[in-house]
Amino acid sequence: MLEGKVVVLGVTGSIAAYKIANLASMLVKQHCEVHVIMTQNATNFINPITFETLTGNKCLVDTFDRNFQFHVAHVSLAQKADVILVAPASANVLGKVAGGIADDMLTTTIMACPGKVMFSPAMNVNMFRNPILQQNLEKLKSFGYEIIDPAVGYLACGDTGAGKMPEPETLMEYILREIACEKDLKGKKILVTAGPTRESIDPVRYITNHSTGKMGYAVARRAMLRGADVTLISGPTQLNDVPFIKRVDIISAQDMFEAVRDNLEGSDFLVKAAAVADYTPSVVSDEKVKKKDGDMVIELRRTQDILGYVAEHKKEGQIICGFSMETQNMLENSRKKLDKKKLDIIVANNLKVKGAGFGTDTNVVTMITAEEEISLEIMSKDDVADAILDQLLHLSRIMSTKKGEPAD
């Protein structure tokens, strides 16, 4: 995802410095060009050779290093960087940048950078709580720098509290959000549903389906990376959280209906990828139903029609995307659903097609609108998500053109 991108990692004097080697490696694996600048104090915690080996680039410490490939190193790197992340960021460096002091390679590069700079503070909890440090953080925010909140936990000094640097995977997410994708969905609000629902029979048992939520989560994540304001309504899954979005957890089909109802207004796009139960037990027992001789019959009733509600309450300009999983007559059945539910687009797949369906990391879909059918080859669910989002943007622009408005 980061091919052609340049990230500068600033490493300061903190025991957490050793973790940044992992982050540098993660970035390189995404084909990112990585440069590391260390303060002199940081070299007491990790050797610059570690970063040079991982990145293939000289690690800078000395402001006046004449062996560096750029003529004026701090200016050249500052202009080249798509983002600078200082992690761990010590109280000393935070205070210097907040005060406009540039007396080493790292602070001079930050001062010369016209682009995005992020700081991940890491220090003793009492240092972090110090009002001077807090004032410096607020000052940096007012200048447009981004501060990544520290984690709370056991610190190297033996104290427990805020001041722990987030794990490299978390820092990676901040970098990806910033530079991984063009922000063509910036300003758009997207409501996504994902995962299964569970319909209780008694306190022990429930009716559900095989949905894992992977497709819906992929849509939510790709929309976030492309700059959208995302709300994800999720049934029970085993998936990792999608960062930087609003998540609403639900259990039953009724919960899903209420969550969609409460979040629909103001959304530009609704992507309804959840596998919501069509039926739910008419009676839910308060106690565990005991086994008896012979068969048991569970009476079921229809759940609330979420797309039916959406069709009746859809605002002008909203675009609704449904999903259709079939085992036969996929196109015919999906187009009927498109018309019946008054959808703008439906994403159809056949459970029997290899690479499609529940629990896989790939999908094989056909996107159907009133005017066309777009069949996609087998691809990752992330790529399918991007294709869906591209189509939603396309439909939005067509709708704007018909209304005489300038396209986004």
Report which secondary-structure segment, H or E, holds 121: strand 116-121
Helix (H, G, I), strand (E, B) or coil at 201: coil
Q: CA 207 → CA 32, 60, 199, 236, 351, distances in Å?
A: 46, 59, 5, 13, 20
- Residue 116 CA to residue 150 CA, distance in Å, equals 19
Give me the sign of the Cα torsion angle 75, 81, 87, 91: positive
The neighbour count for residue 393, using CB atoms within 10 Å, is 19
157 classed as catalytic = yes
- Catalytic residue (one of 32, 113, 157, 321): 157
Helix (H, G, I), strand (E, B) or coil at 341: coil
Beta bridge partners of 246: 231
Helix (H, G, I), strand (E, B) or coil at 380: strand
Q: How many helices (H) and strands (E) does the chain have?
A: 13, 21
- Residue 270 CA to residue 367 CA, distance in Å, equals 15
CA 300 from centre of chain: 37
Cα angle for residues 22, 25, 27 (degrees, 5° grid) = 110
Can you spell out the DSSP letters for 235-301?
A: -S--PPPPTTSEEEE--SHHHHHHHHHHHHTT-SEEEE--B--SEEESS--SSPPPP-SS-----EE
Nearest CA among 169, 154, 160 for reference residue 120? 169
Catalytic residue ranges: 157
